[in-house]
Chains A and B, each alone.
Chain A
Amino acid sequence: MLQDITMGLYIPGDSIAHRLDPRVKIILAVCYVIALICASDILSYGLAALTLAGAVTAAKIKPSMLLRGMRGFIVMIAFTAVLCAFMTPGASWVQWGWLSLSKEGIYKGAQVLLSFILFIAGTSWLTFTTSPLQLMEGMSKLLYPLRYIKVSPQEVALIMSISMRFVPIMAEESYRILNAQKARGAYIDSGNITQRVQAMVSLLAPLFIRAWQRSETLSTAMLCRCYQSGAERTGLRKMFMKRADYTALALMSAVLLIIIALPDYY
């Protein structure tokens, strides 16, 4: 169950995409998302899909991994797309009682479907090719301007990296507690609604206690190593921009500009 979640996972590798500067990769992902929001016609979506295909190839990720990540969202995506298709006003094309489907609606629904799939695939690409640590380092560097509004980018980055670090630990912990309660007959994946709620309590209560204990241990450990909030910190690995980074940025900017400009030619 918990092992099936691939979103947010890092796949170690040594491809061009893996070696890109994490800051660049974050910017690429943001540009890609903006491009998706701006896209409104077949050509733009085609271009976005092409960009994604290029990025996935450069990362040497199996497309099946991307699909696995999408599995958990299928219902949500389908629901949103169908809702969009029926709720968009327009000249009725097919009519079932009070339900009417317009050509505009179908078009809108398909658009939503495509955007979602491309969006999830694109963001998965970022986490697949960038280790959580690199992601946080990149993020904290990009958040640097926050200093001017009296927010410490390092604090933000630390909070994010600790939460990220704890995700697999808590997942493992919950898996273990889940199994322990299952062994005592808790209705984890069977039983009626009351039984399931009780089973959730048997999982969440111990998990919460453990999280609390762990955070206390962690803060003590940090104090023991003289952690001081707000102090200037240096990094072990410095980030450098290479030619591949500039190329990737240039390509992405071109894609973004084309997608923004495209509708004007119609």
Chain B
Amino acid sequence: MPDTESILRLNDVYHTYSYGTPWAKAALDGVSFQLRPEETVIVTGSNGSGKSTLLQHMNGLLKPERGQIYFKGQDIWQDKKNIRQVRFQIGIAFQFPEYQLFHKTVAEDIAFGPKNMGLTASQINERTEEALFFVGLEQKIKDYSPQRLSTGEKRRVSLAGIIAMQPKILLLDEPTVGLDPQGGQLIMERMRAYQQARGIALVIVTHDLENVGAVTDRVIMMKEGKIHREGQLSKILAGAPDDELPKPVITQLFQELSARGVPVNRGTMLVNEAAAQILDLYNKRKEKRA
């Protein structure tokens, strides 16, 4: 298959935890998908559906039992020595990334990745400042200890540590979990702005569909280690039953309206979309009366 379109391609990937023991559990069961450069993909699904495992395969932290992963058309496991270089180009932030902070100052922690890449001090400094800017933190916190920051700030510092490596793909595992709504929204906005400024690909694992409506191009829904549904978010929202995924409030409202016979789109999730439809209905009714 020609591979010019996609930056990352997973080909029939299988993964089993505790392979060969009584606890063996299939986490990925034949997953294939392609990621285009500059694309944003949301991965969702219930706990234990294989989302996080999938993410760890994407940057070579886990090695598939079967199947291949191609980054820019190259099998990432072809040469094991190159895997570090692959990890520098595909940044990953785990759940609660603030737990990985360990340096005495914010600047040193952000510099950990770039330093491991072997960059010069001035390059590192430049990248640190830039990364802080992208996550919306002031330059003066550079000399603070990460431990005295708030949870939201810590989260943004740890994301800055990954951005500072200037990856071509950014993988985020539940970036908003445990934050207040404003904090979560801020992180999503910042990551989206960074993705557009740099033209990178973004993969976000999340349950929080409320915040990603405006961000996403494509959604992948995982179930029992397989890709269960895939496509545009509005289409998936319109098609999936209520118990399958947590729908945004606006979607719930519009599906309720649709169930009562009002002709609206069941996949609506954004405020402006919703407003446009309501206005449309209102005008139509007005015309009828007139």
Contact = CB atoms under 8 A, between A and B. Distances in A.
A binds B: yes
Interface of A: 3, 6, 11-12, 65, 173, 176-177, 179-187, 190, 201-202, 205-206, 209-210
Top-10 shortest CB links A-B: A185-B116, A205-B102, A184-B113, A180-B100, A183-B92, A206-B102, A179-B61, A180-B94, A202-B102, A183-B87
A184 B102 contact: no
B100 A177 contact: yes
23 contacts: A3-B18, A11-B22, A65-B21, A176-B94, A179-B56, A179-B94, A180-B97, A180-B99, A181-B112, A183-B87, A184-B113, A184-B116, A184-B165, A185-B84, A185-B113, A185-B116, A186-B112, A186-B116, A201-B102, A202-B102, A206-B100, A206-B102, A209-B99
A104 B157 CA distance: 64
Contacts of B22: 11-12
Interface string B145-185: 00100000000000001100100000000000000000000
A183 B173 CA distance: 13
Contacts of A65: 21
Nearest to B90: A183
Nearest to B88: A185
Contacts of A187: 116
A3 B19 CA distance: 10
A6 B61 CA distance: 22
Contacts, number: 61
Nearest to B171: A183
B101 A184 contact: no
Contacts of A183: 59, 61, 87, 91-92, 162
B279 to A, nearest CB: 47
Interface of B: 17-18, 21-22, 56, 59, 61, 84, 87-88, 91-94, 97, 99-102, 112-113, 116-117, 147, 161-162, 165
A252 B84 CA distance: 54
A190 B162 CA distance: 21
Contacts of B97: 180
Nearest to B95: A176
Contact of B87 (A11, A173, A182, A201): A182
Most chain A C-beta atoms within 10 Å of own C-beta, residue among B21, B94, B113: B21
A207 B116 CA distance: 20
A181 B100 contact: yes
B93 to A, nearest CB: 8
B99 A185 contact: no
Given A184-B165, A185-B117, A209 B147 contact: yes
Contact of B162 (A12, A184, A210): A184
Nearest to A61: B22
Given A173-B99, A190-B84, A206-B99, 4 more contacts: A11-B22, A65-B21, A179-B61, A186-B116
Nearest to B84: A185
A177 B22 CA distance: 26
Contacts of B117: 185
Contacts of A181: 100, 112
A11 B21 CA distance: 10
A185 B56 CA distance: 14
Contacts of B162: 183-184
Contacts of B116: 184-187
A65 B23 CA distance: 12
B281 to A, nearest CB: 49
Contact of B101 (A179, A182, A190, A206): A206
Most chain A C-beta atoms within 10 Å of own C-beta, residue among B18, B56, B92, B161: B92
B99 A177 contact: yes
Nearest to B100: A180
A201 B18 CA distance: 27
Nearest to B96: A176
A11 B94 CA distance: 30
Contacts of A190: 84
Contacts of A177: 99-100
Nearest to B61: A179
Contacts of B99: 173, 176-177, 180, 206, 209-210
Contacts of A209: 99, 102, 147
A173 B96 CA distance: 11
Nearest to B62: A179
A184 B112 contact: yes
A90 to B, nearest CB: 44
Contact of B161 (A176, A184, A201, A205): A184
A212 to B, nearest CB: 11
Contacts of B18: 3
A30 B164 CA distance: 56
Most chain A C-beta atoms within 10 Å of own C-beta, residue among B113, B117, B161: B113
